[in-house]
Amino acid sequence: MLEVRGVSVSFGDVEILRDVSFMVSDAQTVALLGPSGVGKSTLLRVIAGLVDPNTGDIFINAKDVGRVAPHRRGVGLVFQDNALLPHLTVRSNIAYGLRQKRVPKRDRERRVADLLNMMRIEHLADRKVDTLSGGEAKRVAVARTLAPEPHVVLLDEPLTGLDSEIYESVITDLTSALKKSQASVVWVTHNLTEAKRVASAIIHL
């Protein structure tokens, strides 16, 4: 479960977020909706621990994680530009988080195989990430984020830039993978139809 309580962020004189609060239960998806520049991505970074809020608190499973470093928070983030590690293959990108958790090799390989299958990218396993199309890269980014089984999954405009046919197939696989994960999900988008389709609650920023 994720709780955001009274979060405000300013960079210098520019106020990005003011007193934002909401809750996301386990296995629930909440959409953050709003135009560009309204602070949606910043809010995700605050939840992940990548940006310090000026005021406010983040609770994960009822624990205040304000002083917990990003690598110990158990929050997965799908970046808007995917941020796949360019020197690793698809398989190694997906296994990255499992390696950090020192998951034994056999379990790691099984988990990676499951995710490759779930996101329908088995044929890409040994490809270099700079050879992937937009839709393929997004599938890899989602698989990588879900691999270490985070409590909270954040998605930063995951379907932006995909053409309509690929959009349909990615959104279907993505929502089913998220449902299986049982995580609390925050889905950032500027598309109202998409928000209504994927989330049980919508927060306007």
Partner 1 sequence: MVGISGLTVRRFQRIGLIAAVPVLLTVVVLILWPATNIVIRYFRWDHFTSAFSDERIQRVLWISVTQATLSTALAVLIGVPLASLFAKHQFPGKRFASALVTVPFVLPSVVVAIAALSLSGGKRPLLTIVVAHAFFNVAVVVRIVRPSIASNTTFDNAATTLGAGALKRLMQIDVPLARHSIQNAAVVTFIFCFTSYGVVRIIGGLSTTTTEVEIYTRAIQLGDMSTAVALALVQTFFLAVVTLVFRPAAEAFRFKPSTTAIRQLRPLSVVGVWVACGLFLVPSAVIVLKSLRSRGNWTTAGWEQIDLGIVLRSLTFAATASILSLLLAGLLMVATTHSGATSRLISAIASIPIAVSAIVLGVGIVATFNSGWLDIRGAMWLVPTMHAIVATPITFRILRASLDTITSDHRAAAATLGASPLRTIMTVDLGAVRRSALYAGIVSGCVSLGEFGATSVLARDSSRTIPIEISRLLGKPGDLNQLHGYALATLLLLIISTAMFSTGRSDA
Residues that bind partner 1 (CB under 8 A): 11, 42, 45, 48-52, 67, 69-73, 75-77, 79, 81, 83-88, 96-97, 99-101, 144-145, 147-148, 150
Query: Considering beta carbons, is residue 87 or 106 the nearer one to partner 1?
Result: 87
Please give the DSSP secondary-structure letter assigned to residue 162: -
CA-based nearest residue to 133, from 145, 121, 118, 143: 121
The least CB distance from residue 56 to partner 1, in Å, is: 13
Q: How far is the CB of 47 from partner 1 (least distance, A)?
A: 10
User: What is the token pair recorded at 109?
Assistant: 């390989």
Number of helical (H) and strand (E) elements in the chain, helices listed first: 6, 9
CB of 105 to partner 1, least distance (A): 17
Minimal distance, residue 108 CB to partner 1, in Å: 13
The 3-state DSSP composition of the chain as helix, strand, coil percent (nearest 5) reads 40, 25, 35
Least Å from the CB of residue 202 to partner 1: 24
167-173-179-185 Cα dihedral, nearest 10 degrees:
-40
Edge to edge, the sheet with strand 201-204 lists 75-78, 152-156, 184-189, 29-33, 201-204
Nearest to partner 1 of 47, 118 (CB atom): 47
Smaller CB distance to partner 1: residue 70 or 201?
70
Decide whether 72 or 106 has the Cβ nearer to partner 1: 72
**Burial readout 108-125 (b: 16 or more C-beta within 10 A, e: otherwise):** beebbeebbebbebeebe
Nearest CB to partner 1, comparing residues 92 and 202: 92
